[in-house]
Amino acid sequence: MQDFFSLSRWMPGLVTLLDYRRDWLADDVRAGLSVAAVALPVAIAYAELAGVSAVVGLYSCILPMIAYAFFGTSRQLIVGPDAATCAVIAAVVMPLAAGDATRHWQLVMTMTAMTGLWCLAASYFRLGVLADFLSRPILLGLLNGVAITIMVGQLSRIFGFTFDESQLIERLAATPDYLALVHWPTLGVSALTLIIMLLCRHYRPLWPSSLLALVVAAGVLWYLGPERLNIAVVGSLSEGIPDFQLPEFPPGLMRDLVLPALNLAMVSFVSMMLTARSFAARNGYDIDADREFRALGVANLASAVSQGFAISGADSRTAVNDANGGKSQLVSIVAAGVIAGVTFFLTEPLQYIPTAALGIVLVMASWSLINLRGQWQLHKSDKPAFWLAWITFISVLFMGVIPGITLAVLLGLFQFLRNVMRPTDQLMGMNEEGVVHTLGRNEEVKAIAGVLIYRFNSPLTYFNASYFKRRVLALIGLEKAQPNCLIIDAVSCFTHQDISVMSVVGELHKELKRRGIHMVMAGRRSQMTHWLQQAGIRVGEEGVLVYPDLYEALRMTRCYHTPAPAVTTEVAEAVRSEA
């Protein structure tokens, strides 16, 4: 029994597979074949985006998908190459590789291994809470910026020229000058690929449109001959299991990969969790964020060992899995087996795939990431979120992917600190039934004469304790008649012992005592009494009064039976403005 619980903790996917139901098999096999049909062309296209050989994209699917099937907690999630992760890898590695293809590939593998190690470290320290760190508006702006950056970068492949510029804005400004360099046969292949994908999605939405388009484009090039038309193709690919390679670049380059790998781990995890949680909720089960962090780390290490690049949760392939009725992690194993078969035995036909067609696949994949309408609609519902999303979006466009991601992480940190350092707060009152509610939102809730009940909606710590004191004194000053006692809801804000907080509480108690106001703590009676006494603050009639809850505090202070007509306008407005 102990061995089973240990297995369940470390390999929850394997536990699901050991308890597999036979009636799931048909759905899982069908879903696995469908996922493989979508993953094959996308993996090849994303390899081109990352700047490595097309076969590396296939390597990045096989072992990572099997690893996630054993270590992941989501039954629907499919991991694999992702547009955002590949764009980040390319932006980091290309300047360091300086045009050396072998070094480029080795740096990609090293960065992938570092990303996996960061994920494992985060899982060990139970940092799955970071799934909520990058807010949806920030991630929305980030993905919109990355998608547009990718789409502009693929214009050179689609039209058959090469950009001399490296940044998005410069490329857009120079695009008119490149129109005279358009290679018409390449543009024709791009148009053919786009038409097939659009027709397939319109008339046969369940078919793998990208795979069908690449098969047709490769067939046309094989028949006509790519050399005769001077159209760039993927070229010959190695077959079989790749030989393990140790990095052969200067160790100092690894220092340049540490922080980008951390950023990549953060963005990949948050993006993966959004997908995993949405499909888990749709199918009626929960996932464990800490174990998902571990699963992502193991999958990235598996990708690095197999000479692949960093992976994340793939929303499009997960949607294909769900649409085809996939029931368990066996879908990933079936899809990985199909991709492995193609990688090891059927790579010869892949050499005729035109890179222009891969550019169209990437543009279509990136187009599905764009949600500028949703980003704009934030203006109506949440203006701070609106500005966060647009600042991130513009930063990615003007500064580049890596600085944009760094800024997104910092914005997430600043947003968190702002919410903790300057949280909302409320004054409380009582209705006719004797129930305590927030003042200012319900006319039936009345203030209690002589009593100020205060709630601070954040854990008190050293960097917001002074703000807590200022808010209490400011709200007391706005009262027309000075209250006899101040009741603080200790449950919401006194969550842990902090000597700096206790020092501020002592100062506040002295100031209130000087004004003739009793200070009352409601909730956490044993803890609060112990913490106050340890801080040298007197507890009892001559000090701070401590009661088990708000109702006991009101009853014992004998102030609850004289309701005031209403909360004062000044106080209600002050609370609403802070909120």
The domain ranges of the chain are 2-417, 425-578
Residue 346 backbone phi and psi in degrees, to 5: -130, 35
Average pLDDT, the chain: 87
How does pLDDT run across 203-219, given as a tens digit for each residue?
Answer: 988 788 888 998 999 99
Q: Is 51 left (phi over 0), alpha (psi -120 to 50) or beta?
A: left
Residue 451 pLDDT > 60: yes
Q: What is the mean pLDDT of residues 33-52?
A: 91
* Residue 4: C-alpha distances to residues 8, 15, 498 (Å): 6, 8, 40
Query: For position 270, what pLDDT does the model report?
Result: 86
Q: Output phi, psi for 307, to 5 deg.
A: 65, 30
- In this model, does residue 566 exceed pLDDT 50? no
How many angstroms separate the CA atoms of 447 and 437, rounded?
10
pTM for this one? 0.76
**Mean pLDDT of the 526-550 span:** 92
Q: What is the pLDDT of residues 248-261, one digit of tens each?
A: 778 888 899 999 99
- In three-state secondary structure terms, 494 is coil
pLDDT for 216 equals 92
Residue 508 contacts residue 519 (beta carbons within 8 Å)? yes
pLDDT band at 6 (very low <50, low <70, confident <90, very high): low
pLDDT of residue 129: 79
Task: Find the mean pLDDT for residues 114-123.
Answer: 95
pLDDT at position 89 is 94
Per-residue pLDDT, 564 = 41
Provide the pLDDT for residue 203: 92
User: Helix, strand, or coil here: 559?
Assistant: coil
pLDDT average, residue stretch 385-401? 88
The reported pLDDT for the residue numbered 577 is 44
HSE-up of residue 386 (Cα within 13 Å, Cβ side): 9
198: CB partners within 8 A, 6+ apart: none
425-578: in CATH 3.30.750.24: yes
Q: Give the pLDDT score at 569.
A: 41
| Average confidence (pLDDT) over 349-363 | 89
For CA atoms 290, 291, 294, 300, the dihedral sign is negative
Is 249 exposed, middle or buried, given 0-12, 13-18 or 19+ CB atoms closer than 10 A?
A: middle
pLDDT higher than threshold 60 for residue 556: yes
Position 243 scores a pLDDT of 66
> Is residue 216 left, alpha or beta, with left meaning phi > 0 and alpha meaning psi from -120 to 50?
alpha
